[in-house]
Each structure stands twice: as C-alpha cells, then as structure tokens.
Structure 1
Amino acid sequence: MFTVKDGLPGNTIASVQEDRGGNLWVSSSGGLSKIEVGQDSQRVKIKCLNFDGV
C-alpha cells in the first residue's frame, strides 16, 4: 500500500489503471500519479503529475 508518505499526492484513491508498459496510473484526491515498477519488481518509483481543473 502506498500513501502520501511514499509520494502519492493524496491518500484517497479514485481509480487505478495499468498501461501497456506495466505502469500503474493512480488518480487520487491530490492528483494523478504514475507508479513505475522495475523489471526485478523490487524497484518502485512514484511520479506525481498535478493538474488543475482536469
């Protein structure tokens, strides 16, 4: 489980979708995040994309 402590912009999750590359896109109360999982499944990187009025 990921939270704002891990880099998500909000703790309330509305939706999670996986793209063709295996990345997870998470929409939360604070914005949109892309979660990239490394090929060894041990590395996880969270990128937060903040949009106003999407």
Structure 2
Amino acid sequence: MAPRSDVLMLGIGHFTACPACGHRLLETQVTSTARAALAELANKITRLVR
C-alpha cells in the first residue's frame, strides 16, 4: 500500500500500523534531508498545479 499524501513526512501526524490490515511492523527507510525537502517541494508544486 502506497501513501496517498504526505502522511509520513516528519512533523506531520503519522500512523504506526498498516491502515489496510493493522499489521504493526511497518517497513521504514531513512532518507536524507535533501531528499525529504525535494519530496515536500514536489508535493507543494503538485498541489498548486491542481
């Protein structure tokens, strides 16, 4: 299941279990600050274009 928004971004509420099945062990990955900032910028641009 892929996130449908920025729900997993640092500083924004996130979930601790799979919303589809309730499984507790979620796969996590560490990302660089630059990559996170780029993803946030892409999300904002996408929202502005809509």
TM over 0.5: no
Question: What interval of TM-score do these two structures reach, taking the shorter chain for normalisation?
Answer: under 0.3
Larger Rg: 2
Q: Which has the higher helix share?
A: 2
- When the two structures are superposed, what TM-score results if normalisation uses the length of structure 2? 0.26
Please identify which structure carries the higher strand content. 1
Larger RCO (CA under 8 A, 6+ residues apart):
1
